Structure 1
């Protein structure tokens, strides 16, 4: 199975670079499934139904999120009806939406997508390890009938993300970090067969501070009073993500590589 995970889609530059490139990428890589983190897609904060539809029409199959999932209240009833939009599973019981989806691809593959959120320097949510133990297979994905298992770890600390990677090793096809918006250079396959990258980066403009207007962000960090409201930076976006191929029997990773298209970052193609 071949699938692609796209990092946080940030505002209009992120949406434009995804919708403008994903149909071609999907065809060229012969992808079975595309997953994207969309929690920053609506002006940097949250999601709307219109944006979800736009991403789905461009070729995204499942949208994961994070701490900004409920910033736009209009997404809550949409999430309750469309299982393709998920939120971190370790949100408190009764939170709108679901924390995972078993998605059947048009090509006939089954991929389990799990979304969790870290707790270091983040909101004090429920224990994410309990979510992983409840949702992930006991062994290799293929042993439980999955062609692939993906875990989006929405977290701040690199150490915590690595901990999740090793905890899931041998039970997931890919563990990938989101939230920090900077693509890391550590895409590799762990000892047990799970592909890992600490952060997929963002789909957005890098002439910014993690996708937001650089002047406003610097003013806030330097202590200027009054603090300006953050807004999404304008400019050409870069599409950043992680490409994974899995073994047909085990569902574990056989190949992992970053993808970067457009904007100022050095281009990277996974094949």
Structure 2
């Protein structure tokens, strides 16, 4: 049995800070830790400093999302596969897209046995940029042998699209956990076929914010109906995640996890 922690979108320096201070204190409780680093670099994308911070804190794999290409650093990071276990969205149609959309890891469980864990990252298409069909992309991937326990990070805006993918994959993957909206949903469950699902894991970043941003920026945008710069909020931060226990390609248990800094 594997005990996997999935940490929601790390947002800027406050997200990296709470990850660095809290994840090491709980890391020994898990066999593998997946961290979404989609917003780790100033709220947009991933750069080397952010990737190093995530891995140093105890992350074993970094997933991305629609801001995957925001920093040029990410291209060289993806080429260094041994040092940087990054999984970018699978469903880019261009075969020349840098990086990989899935990785398989050999993970040693608490009892000493090893199981395979495949981490997949896909982008939704509803209210998002144009990409290939995520349903078809995962279907094609699952035709491969030897994937073991499959964990899918579904980076999407629409709750219906996330739920539809989870039900479509029910019984064929161990987990489908949503990212992108930065708001934790209270629908953690195991679907009838044995797939863990939660619409959105939430984010890891500043608590007193509008999904990570200093409130003034979004407020001005809504008030004036004009573009406005969004800065990363300060103050105490929180870490949100989902813990999934899995074995033989199915989820045995799933629960939400939250830690909040004082202040």
- The two structures, once aligned, show a CA RMSD in angstroms of 1.6
Counterpart in the other structure of 1:254: 252
- Give runs of aligned pairs for residues 72-151 of structure 1, distance below 5 A: 72-82=71-81, 84-93=85-94, 94-105=96-107, 107=109, 108-136=114-142, 145-151=146-152
Identify unmatched segments of 5+ residues in structure 2: none
Cα deviations across residues 99-128 of structure 1 (Å, max 9, x unaligned)?
A: 011122355332100110000000010111
Aligned residues: 254
Could you state the TM-score of these two structures normalised by the residue count of structure 2?
0.92
Identify unmatched segments of 5+ residues in structure 1: 139-143, 265-271
SS of the residue corresponding to residue 131 of structure 1 reads helix
In 2, the alpha carbon distance for the partners of 1:175 and 1:42 equals: 25
Offset, 1:81: 2.2
Tell me whether 1:217 sits opposite 2:215 in the alignment.
Answer: no
Cα contact 2:149–2:173 (8 A) shared by 1: yes
Which has more strand, going by share of residues? Answer: 2
Cα contact 1:32–1:109 (8 A) shared by 2: no
SS of the residue corresponding to residue 249 of structure 2 reads coil
In 2, the alpha carbon distance for the partners of 1:216 and 1:70 equals: 23
In 2, the alpha carbon distance for the partners of 1:64 and 1:196 equals: 17
In 1, the alpha carbon distance for the partners of 2:20 and 2:140 equals: 34
Offset, 1:145: 4.4
Cα deviations across residues 176-211 of structure 1 (Å, max 9, x unaligned)?
A: 000000010000000100000000000011211100
In 2, the alpha carbon distance for the partners of 1:121 and 1:215 equals: 24
Counterpart in the other structure of 1:60: 59
Cα–Cα, structure 1 residues 89 and 50, in superposed 2: closer, same or farther, change >3 Å? same
